[in-house]
Amino acid sequence: MAKIKKIINIEDSVGKHWDINRALGWNGYPDADLATNAEKGIAMIEQAIAEGNPYELLITDMHFAVNGVDDTKAGFYVIEELKRKEIQIPIIVCSSINYNIPEIAGCVFYNRSRDLSWDFREVLSKLR
């Protein structure tokens, strides 16, 4: 896979989004665009496809709003919606719960005491 140039992050915490962008930058990747809920994230992905400039990577948390309601399984909703819409995009889950989801590119365990840059490097290296 060629170097990823366009990334979206579905995350409701601006601080965590900043941490993710710092880890991406340390690994030579561009900052991710931010969507703070499921609907906005899916709409941004669809709009980018319609404009002929699709996102090449989705980084998503698991806990954010879906239809205006806080949902601890929101990331699963996004993954399923993208599948249902037949949108193919590599997905990395970045969450404070260490998930094992076989059908995605990988999971990064978010913990402020860990080096997020190294954790992302490991998962991103699998995408090349």
Identity at 45, one-letter amino acid code? I
Alpha carbon distance 111, 115 (integer Å): 8
Total domain count, the chain? 1
Residue 1 domain flag: no
Q: Which domain holds residue 75?
A: 7-125
Residue 11 has pLDDT above 70, yes or no: yes
Flag whether 40 is in a domain: yes
39 domain-assigned? yes
What's the pLDDT at 127? 86
Q: In sequence order, what are the residues at sequence separation of 6 or more whose Cβ sits closer than 8 angstroms to the Cβ of residue 79?
A: 60, 91, 101, 103, 104
| Residue 88 belongs to a domain | yes
Instruction: Give me 87's structure tokens.
Output: 């949108």
What pTM was computed for the model?
0.94
Indicate whether 2 belongs to any domain. Answer: no
- Quick count: other Cβ atoms within 10 Å of Cβ 57? 21
CATH of the domain at 71: 3.40.50.2300
Give the pLDDT band (50/70/90) at residue 24: very high
Q: Is 90 helix (H, G, I), strand (E, B) or coil?
A: coil
